[in-house]
Chain A
Amino acid sequence: MKILSVKDLTIEFHDHKLPERAVEKVSFDMDEGEVLGLVGESGSGKSLTAMAIAGLLPRKRLNAFGEIIFEGKDMLKIPRSELRELQGDELSVIFQEPMTALNPTMRIGKQVEEPLFIHHKELSDAERKAKALDWLEKVELHDPERVYHSYPHELSGGMRQRVMIASAMVSDPKLLIADEPTTALDVTVQAQIIKLLLRLNLKQKVAILFISHDLSLVKQISENVIVMQNGSIVEKGKTKDVFDSPVEEYTKKLVAAIPEVRF
């Protein structure tokens, strides 16, 4: 079952004198429960593509054309109110910088609960709290009760990213967009977060669009991969095939650049 279908997605900056294309005619599909890696260097348009799918493009500066069909709705055409109903409920995002992605003056618990507060008004305060605590536990945070009452600055970067994941998963979304979720973290924490995401994918059947510049990470996490360069897709397919026998020159270079770890 397809849950996401991107067709001819083109994104233009329109605050420059000449419209500048940052993403050009990108098309791909995602199945339910699939983990799809999206790799490329910075400036390749991978993050813009992800933000467009999440409905988070700043409309004042950017124009997006094409189709992004999610849950049978075109994310680029539906009114904002309908888009908001999907955001945080059916579709969630975790970001690159866990240090700044959380509101510094709001308790962790309130932030984890917020998607429920917005999308599931039928739940009581106690039910919301129970769900939030449950999720804090599921993302392997010790002492969820204490974390629930903490503020972001009291947690480490890895803990904050776990909190972000809990908040993204609390309303059982169908699609999780992870925009370089481990780039700002230590290598050991990085590995833990990757494992956590994989477990969530298995248990909750959530599809994950994993954006990264780090090919070795993508190799670990995703079945399928898309390689982007200068706003266009240069290669896509099974991760194994793409890495073992890259066709395009650019992919070859990227693959060759992966450091081999020997023990």
Chain B
Amino acid sequence: MSLLKAVIKKLGIILLTLLLVSFAVYAAFELIPGDPALSKLGTDATPEALAALRHEMGLDKPFIFRYFSWLLSCLKGDFGISLSYGRTVSSMIISRIPVTVFLTLFSTLITVVVSIPVAVLMTKYAGRFFDRFTYVVNQLVMSVPSFFAGILFTWFFGMILKLFKPGGYVSYDKDLPGFLFYILFPSIAVALPKCAMSVKLLRSSILEEADKDYVRTAYSRGNSTMQVMYRHVLKNALIPLVTFWSMSVADMIAGAIVIEQVFNIPGLGRILLSSIQNRDYPVVEAVIMLIALVVVVMNLLSDILCKKIDPRLKS
């Protein structure tokens, strides 16, 4: 019963958040000076044609009315028509979603899969050479922005080692393995700083857990150091990391949007950028709403995952 209540409350918060974001986004673009009808027809349009178009676009209706009709059509998957391309926004976006999703997914996966063993090894040799060395490398990696890492990768792996062809993007619907391989390098570039941060967080989390009483109990039962780590410490140490990772997904999307420019990948980033430069608001609104949805869902997911790992949170 209380679980159901918690779920309903959480869902309510999610809907409210999305509503708030949508309102903020829509209102923000309303505030911009300028008349979309005017910019569409040009300054030499007749007042009658202008009025007719304004009526057709619904611009003569009050703001709140326009907001809700926009929201309603958004819910149906209709984000309007691009101002600069004349196509429906959804048709422009939909084929690009998988590209950015794959990039984000890859980066998140790399972050999680790499940071756990590195942090475990660091704590195993805490205070010794491997720990200190990795700590320094970690600090350096944290400071390299992913787009610079991407450029270095292009230069080193693409141009010198010729592991991949810089700019030679292959679409996922033509050659999936080729696409995945091409996307690997940008994913690593996006993952690197987050990975370094995860290692740092997890290292201190593990060291903190290792000092707790239950660890001594585990040793007293005859567990070896590694058994204590994998059976007891790691799970407890991962709890704060789950929250960090789920919050990072939003940053990974942002990272993906930037890295797409480095590796010449036609994903959501490309379209968002060009629509920002062209002030193509329906497209910007749609992409933002999409990202907001992902952010909110990830938030929910991390909540559920945390409760799964940490039974204390259930009550």
Does chain A bind chain B? yes
Chain B residues 224-246 with CB under 8 Å of chain A are 224, 227, 231-232, 235-236, 239
Distance to closest chain A CB from B209 (angstroms): 10
Residue from the list A85, A93, A102, A105 in contact with B220, Cβ < 8 A: A93
Q: Is the CB of A85 within 8 A of B222?
A: yes
A95 surroundings in chain B (CB, below 8 A)? 213, 216-217
Question: Knowing A104-B311, A105-B309, A153-B315 touch, does A118 contact B214 (C-beta < 8 A)?
Answer: no
Contact present for A106 and B213 (CB under 8 Å): no
CA distance A241 to B309 in the complex (A): 53
Q: Once the chains bind, are A103 and B214 in contact (CB under 8 Å)?
A: yes
In whole angstroms, how far apart are the Cα atoms of A80 and B219 in the complex?
A: 11
Contacting residues, chain A, for B217 (C-beta < 8 A)? 93, 95, 101-103, 164
Q: Smallest Cβ distance from A252 to chain B, in angstroms? A: 35
What chain A residues lie within 8 Å of B221 (beta carbons)?
87-88, 92, 114-115, 118, 167
Interface residue from A56, A119, A153, A167 paired with B216 (Cβ < 8 Å) = A56
A172 at the B interface (CB under 8 A): no
Given the contacts A84-B224, A89-B222, A118-B222, A101 and B312 also touching, CB distance less than 8 Å:
no
What's the minimum C-beta distance from B241 to chain A, rounded to whole angstroms? 14
A102's contact among B214, B235, B310, by CB below 8 Å, is which? B214
Most chain B CB within 10 A, of A89, A101, A103, A154, is at A103
The answer to the question of B90 belonging to the interface, with a C-beta cut-off of 8 Å to chain A, is no
Q: Choose one: B214, B220, B223, B235; the contact of A54 (CB below 8 Å).
A: B220
Chain A count of residues within 8 A CB distance of the other chain:
30
Range of interface residues on B (Cβ < 8 Å) = 20 to 34
Q: What are the residues of chain A within 8 A of B311 when measuring CB–CB?
A: 104-105, 151, 153-154
Q: Is the interface of B mostly helix, strand, loop or mixed?
A: helix
Q: B236–A104 contact, CB under 8 A?
A: yes
Which of B212, B219, B221 has the most chain A CB within a 10 Å cutoff? B221
Measured between C-beta atoms, what is the minimum distance from B278 to chain A in Å? Answer: 51
| B239 / chain A contacts, CB cutoff of 8 Å | 105
Q: Are A87 and B222 in contact (CB under 8 A)?
A: yes
Does B218 have its Cβ within 8 Å of any Cβ on chain A?
yes
Min CB distance A105 to B, Å, is 5
Contact indicator per residue, chain A 192-211, by CB within 8 Å of chain B (1) or not (0): 00000000000000000000
Known: A56-B216, A97-B213. A105 touches B222 (CB 8 A): no
The reply on A100 being an interface residue by CB < 8 A is yes
For residue B236, which residues in chain A have a CB less than 8 angstroms away from its CB? 103-105
Interface string of A170-193 (1 = CB under 8 A from B): 000000000000000000000000
A104 touches B214 (CB 8 A): yes
CA distance A213 to B259 in the complex (A): 64
Most chain A beta-carbon neighbours within 10 Å: one of B220, B223, B236, B309: B220
**Are the C-beta atoms of B235 and A101 separated by less than 8 Å?**
no
Q: A95-B216, A153-B311 are in contact. Are A103 and B222 (CB under 8 A)?
A: no
Complex interface residues of chain A between 56 and 109 (CB less than 8 A to chain B): 56, 80-81, 84-89, 92-93, 95, 97, 100-106
Taking CB atoms, residues of chain B closer than 8 Å to A102 are 214, 217
Which B289-315 residues sit within 8 Å CB-CB of chain A? Answer: 309-312, 315
Name A residues whose Cβ lies closer than 8 Å to a Cβ of B.
54, 56, 80-81, 84-89, 92-93, 95, 97, 100-106, 114-115, 118-119, 151, 153-154, 164, 167
Q: Other than A104-B236, A115-B222, give 5 A-B pairs with Cβ distance below 8 A.
A: A87-B221, A88-B220, A102-B217, A104-B310, A154-B315
14 examples of A-B residue contacts, CB within 8 angstroms: A54-B220, A87-B222, A89-B222, A93-B217, A95-B217, A103-B218, A104-B310, A105-B239, A106-B232, A114-B218, A118-B221, A153-B312, A154-B311, A167-B221
The 10 tightest CB contacts between A and B, nearest first, are A88-B221, A88-B222, A100-B213, A151-B311, A87-B222, A93-B220, A103-B214, A84-B222, A101-B213, A115-B221
